[in-house]
Amino acid sequence: RKEVEQDPGPFNVPEGATVAFNCTYSNSASQSFFWYRQDCRKEPKLLMSVYSSGNEDGRFTAQLNRASQYISLLIRDSKLSDSATYLCVVNVYNYGQNFVFGPGTRLSVLP
C-alpha cells in the first residue's frame, strides 16, 4: 500500500465548479500536512498547510481528519488558472522528519 494516496484523476471541470480532492496517508506518525500545486514542467508550489481545525484561504479549504488519516482540499468557483496537478504532502516524524509525496491529481478547468 502506498504511503500517501490521492484520487487518480484527471478531473475535468467547467469554470465556476466546486472540486474536491481527497488524500489518505498510512503512517500514523505523520505530523504535518500540506497541499502543493504543480504546473506542467514547473516546481511544486505551496498552496496551503493543513491544520487539525481545518483552514480556509479564499476559495480554498483544507480539512484534516487524523482519526481517519484523511486530508481534503476543496476549491470553490474554480478558475482556468487553477488547472494544475495537486500534490498531497505529509511530513512523517519517524522518517527523519521528512516528506512523503502523493502521486498528485491533475485538474483541468475548462472554459
Partner 1 sequence: DVKVTQSSRYLVKRTGEKVFLECVQDMDHENMFWYRQDPGLGLRLIYFSYDVKMKEKGDIPEGYSVSREKKERFSLILESASTNQTSMYLCASRLVAGSPLHFGNGTRLTVT
Alpha carbons 92 and 88: distance in angstroms, whole number: 13
Please report, as residue ranges, which positions from 20 to 79 form the binding site for partner 1 (by CB under 8 A): 31-32, 34, 41-46, 49
18 with 73: CB under 8 angstroms? no
Strands 60-65 and 4-6: unpaired
Strands 105-110 and 11-14: parallel
Q: Which residue of 9, 26, 63, 101 would you call a contact of partner 1, by CB under 8 A? A: 101
Question: Smallest distance from the beta carbon of 25 to partner 1, in angstroms?
Answer: 14
- 9 in contact with partner 1 (CB under 8 A): no
Which residues of this chain interact with partner 1, rule CB under 8 A?
31-32, 34, 41-46, 49, 89, 91, 96-99, 101-104
